[in-house]
Structure 1
Amino acid sequence: MEYKVRIIGDPILRKKAKKVEKIDEKFQELLNNMTNVMYKEDGVGLAAPQIGINKRFFIMDDGKKLRKIINPEIIEFLGDEVVYEEGCLSIPGVFINVKRPEGIKVKYFDENGNEIEEELHDYTARIFQHEYDHLEGVLFVDKVSTAAKAKYKGKLNELMKEGRKIAKELGEVVIE
């Protein structure tokens, strides 16, 4: 199956994703397909809701390591909040400064079902937080001031119309 990246305005991007119950061969194949989509779209992360799947998993590549993250939890926020420009495959052409904690302590399962607990910092922590937000139905534009968003108001409205249209065509992809 070929997956298409959903655009802001698609209702699935605003749903809280459900827990993954089973990590099997079919699910691992989905993770590999998703990885291909992320690289094809030139992204550093891609969450399941972004391809129409309402489940708690995402992939990310900080340039050092590809991670396949299943049922993640952020246990603790670490360090100071730092501002850094973010973009999103679901909001193409929009780049805005976002304030996030510099580090996080996380727990998740990898693609083999192993539980991982680790501390992430800087760019890696930022990608994780951005993708985790997708699982909560939150987009990075929700984390910036109205004034910061105002610069992109026309573009965001345009994208939201397109996102709603695509959503009607594609619907939600259901995986068990």
Structure 2
Amino acid sequence: MTERQIRLFGDPVLKTVSDPIDAVDDGVRALVDDLIDSVRPPGRAGVAAAQIGVNLRAFSYNVDGEIGYMLNPVIVELSGEPEAMEEGCLSVPGLWFSTMRYPFARATGIDLDGNAIEVSGTGVMAQALQHETDHLNGMLYLDRLDKPTRREAMKQVRESDWF
């Protein structure tokens, strides 16, 4: 159980579609422990396995004091009119941009025992479910920005001290 270093924009793992988890073994259990430890610090709403360099479909979340995880998550419902929400990403530190997200999201997946689980919510939970699932599909929130905003975001990335 370790808080893992977050991979930053430019790391190829962040643009790679994550593989499904075929079997829950000790490696997957250790991954979940690391995901939970990595999402605990204040200000973190979610961490996808790709963000800690693991190409598997898993993420953790920390929203309103509720900490959990999902394996093989699938967004099964998005509802409401998409709205602009301020969004940032641990893999793009210090940058926040208005991103269109659905106000409600519901995802299904499995837990470490192979049982079906469902997580749903509005607000930050809906945003986190969409954001973390995007990571597992090799997508960053910057990819969802309109062209002028994305151009500005990329300029800020290039000028950042971490890039």
Fold similarity call, TM over 0.5 = yes
Residue aligning to 1:12: 13
The 1-side partners of 2:71 and 2:100 are apart by 25
Change (3 A) 1:28 1:7: same
- Corresponding residue of 2:127: 126
Per the alignment, residue 173 of structure 1 pairs with none
Q: How many angstroms apart in 2 are the aligned matches of 1:145 and 1:137?
A: 18
The equivalent of 1:137 in structure 2 is 138
Give 1:90's aligned residue.
91
Q: Secondary structure at the match of 2:36?
A: helix
Q: 1:58 to 1:79 in 2, by over 3 A?
A: same
Structure 2 gaps of 5+ residues are none
| Bigger mean CA deviation after superposition, 89-98 or 2-11 | 2-11
- Cα distance between partner residues in 1 of 2:25 and 2:83: 38
Structure 2 equivalent of residue 100 of structure 1:
101
- After the TM superposition, list the runs of 4 or more consecutive aligned residues in structure 1 that deviate by more than 6 angstroms: none
C-alpha separation in 1, matches of 2:134 and 2:32: 19
Match of residue 58 from structure 2: 57
Checking the alignment, whether the CA contact within 8 Å between 2:36 and 2:68 is kept in structure 1 is: no
Matched, 1:38 2:39: yes
Question: In structure 1, what is the Cα distance between the partners aligned to 2:44 and 2:3?
Answer: 17
**Residue matched to 1:72:** 73
Amino acid at match of 1:141: L
Match for 2:40: what amino acid?
Answer: Y
**1:81–1:101 CA contact under 8 A, matched in 2:** yes
Task: Give the count of matched residue pairs.
Answer: 162
Deviation at 1:41, TM superposition (A): 7.1
CA contact (8 A) 1:67 1:110 kept: no
Aligned partners of 2:123 and 2:108: how far apart in 1?
A: 17
Does 105-114 or 90-99 show the bigger shift?
105-114
- Percent of aligned pairs with the same residue? 29
Q: 1:11 to 1:67 in 2, by over 3 A?
A: same
Secondary structure of the structure 2 residue equivalent to 1:152: helix
Is the 8 Å Cα contact of residues 108 and 118 (structure 2) preserved in structure 1?
A: yes
Provide Cα deviations, 1:131-176, integer angstroms capped at 9, x if missing partner.
Answer: 00000001001111122233333331256x84xxxxxxxxxxxxxx
Unaligned runs of 5+ in 1: 163-176
Q: What is the root-mean-square deviation in Å for CA atoms of aligned residues?
A: 2.2
Q: Which has the higher helix share?
A: 1
Between stretches 76-85 and 114-123, larger displacement belongs to: 114-123
Deviation larger for 25-34 or 90-99? 25-34
